[in-house]
Chain A
């Protein structure tokens, strides 16, 4: 999987109430959730983001609630993948289970808002096209790669059951 897009940068501890506020949790409609993505931290985000763009954030991205509305909102907003220094654990597993590509990079300080990144998920490569730089990516453990390759947890489960 390969993505190319513009960087939207956020800080540490971006929480699920910021990604999608609880007042919108009375629906699971992707379009509606996508329209309010990041609304409480960057009011116009859903309007200015283009398809394929990339969120780059600091530590503990997605802390707080277990709501998968967060992944639904991010995906529906057009964002292709999220890069962070670390992810909150429920957000991390939900992203894997739902097929939202996430990448951990130890230090994001060299990536600026507006930079263009090229991400090659299979090879674990992130290129900064604006700066002509290459970043070291932490590779997923094999178990997780397997879930991603099968297309998410439910497909992985069905495959496993099929075999069993």
Chain B
């Protein structure tokens, strides 16, 4: 069995499961945000059920249009707050203490290997980086889970992606996932679980692994997952709320069997991969950054659940130190959580961004989905460390988004056009 099948089986009362089976599985954590949870809350309340299944297994994060961007957004966020109060939801995170949900939950120790997590947000697949099965669902699924603590799932077949070789400078997890999506297309892993493995993956820092699993959905996948290893254990040791004596052993045992069945195995020699850029309007339009050097930009965004973590900001600062943002460019930096925000100040990163002439914002999903804090005007073009470059995603329908890693986004902000980090001297 694959690691995905093992986790799913452990959450049912069945003796065995196979891909394509329908299962009704127990949920360890159910997540909603200020866009999706209001619908779930209304649906939950319409059923007349009085209590949620478990107040500790629900997380509510107002992160998309917060701090409230307008009246209606404020009303939506208020619905979350009221529901959290009424049901004494422990994991409600208010503005000023919150973060972009998929950066926040792992950081808060709410994700453990082997967990089954659903979230009414497509990028919920992020938590596979810690060896959890996690997947995006809709508000109705969330409402049903509030009642039952369960979710219906079709067991996905797994696709294995093996990475070997030596990473070139400035090549990160983001580049590996953009390259992979470029290879298989936006529906290349439709309904499937993407399992990332190989020596390169098991050398990657956690933040890079989060970026990779985060974008599994952009290939159409149900989930992305990486077998937890020593690096994952080290991360978890710092954030976990409980750490039983057997935790380490159990975590390291959570692996796919040698004879596990995959629909396909793809291997990549990463030595040949340059930092990647995905051109509008699909994440699969990926190519080496050198191909895009003539593309002028109006805005650069560094942040989001894909690349707003501390190592992302450190990487951007490596490029930006003692540099100025190009006169024609707005650089918008959004640390993904309050903790990362504070850490950036402590390490002097905030200072580097501010000196360079960047905006340094409180955590929010903001511009990633065209919400606020950096909407594009007609004809404008941005480079962003976010996850989607659909038409009109960041603002006007005739604006454009290019996806890249934080170093490329920082270099482009300095140069005024898409640039390789080595071009900034």
Contacts and interface: CB of A to CB of B under 8 A. Distances in A.
B147 A157 contact: yes
Interface in A55-79: 59-60, 63-69, 71
Give the interface size bracket for B toward A: 35 or more
A13 B186 contact: yes
A41 to B, nearest CB: 8
Contacts of A147: 152
Contacts, number: 129
Interface string B111-135: 0000000011110100000000000
B190 A88 contact: yes
A105 to B, nearest CB: 16
Contacts of A98: 138, 140
Contacts of B121: 65-66
A22 B220 contact: no
A121 interface: no
Contact of A66 (B138, B143, B190): B138
A66 B137 contact: yes
A25 interface: yes
9 contacts: A15-B388, A26-B70, A28-B39, A41-B391, A66-B121, A68-B36, A88-B190, A94-B141, A160-B148
A89 B222 CA distance: 7
B140 A21 contact: no
A90 B190 contact: no
A94 B187 contact: no
Nearest to A13: B186
Interface of B: 22, 35-36, 38-39, 42-43, 46-47, 64-65, 69-70, 72-73, 76, 119-122, 124, 136-141, 143-144, 147-148, 152, 154, 186-187, 190-191, 217, 220, 222, 282, 369-371, 388, 390-393, 397
Contact of A89 (B140, B152, B220): B220
Contacts of A143: 22, 152
A67 B140 contact: no
B391 A97 contact: no
Interface in A84-111: 86, 88-90, 93-94, 97-98
B47 A67 contact: no
Nearest to B143: A154
A86 B191 CA distance: 11
Nearest to A72: B39
Contacts of B76: 26
Interface string A127-148: 0000000000000010110010
A56 B220 CA distance: 20
A113 B392 CA distance: 25
A53 interface: no
B144 A17 contact: no
A63 B215 CA distance: 13
A40 interface: yes
B138 to A, nearest CB: 4
B369 A65 contact: yes
A63 B140 contact: no
A63 B284 CA distance: 13
B397 A40 contact: yes
B260 to A, nearest CB: 21
A152 B140 contact: yes
A60 B390 CA distance: 14
Interface string A6-50: 000000010101100111011110000000000011000000000
A160 B22 CA distance: 16
A15 to B, nearest CB: 5
A13 B282 contact: yes
Nearest to A98: B140
A64 B122 contact: yes
A91 B69 CA distance: 27
Given A15-B390, A66-B138, A153 B144 contact: yes
Q: Which of B73, B136, B139, B217 has most chain A Cβ within 10 Å?
A: B139
Contact of A157 (B39, B119, B144, B220): B144
A161 interface: yes
Contacts of A68: 36, 39, 138-140
B35 A67 contact: yes
Q: What are the 9 tightest A-B residue pairs by CB atom distance, in nearest-first order?
A: A94-B138, A26-B72, A143-B22, A60-B187, A97-B140, A22-B369, A66-B122, A66-B136, A17-B390
A126 B148 CA distance: 36
B144 A65 contact: no
B393 A17 contact: yes
A100 to B, nearest CB: 11
Contact of A161 (B147, B217, B282, B397): B147
A17 B220 contact: no
A126 to B, nearest CB: 22
A13 B147 contact: no
Q: Which of B119, B138, B148, B220 has most chain A Cβ within 10 Å?
A: B138
Contacts of A86: 187, 190
A68 B42 CA distance: 13
A158 interface: yes
A23 B396 CA distance: 10
Given A13-B186, A22-B371, A154 B144 contact: yes
A90 B143 CA distance: 15
Q: Which of B65, B120, B141 has most chain A Cβ within 10 Å?
A: B141
A161 to B, nearest CB: 7
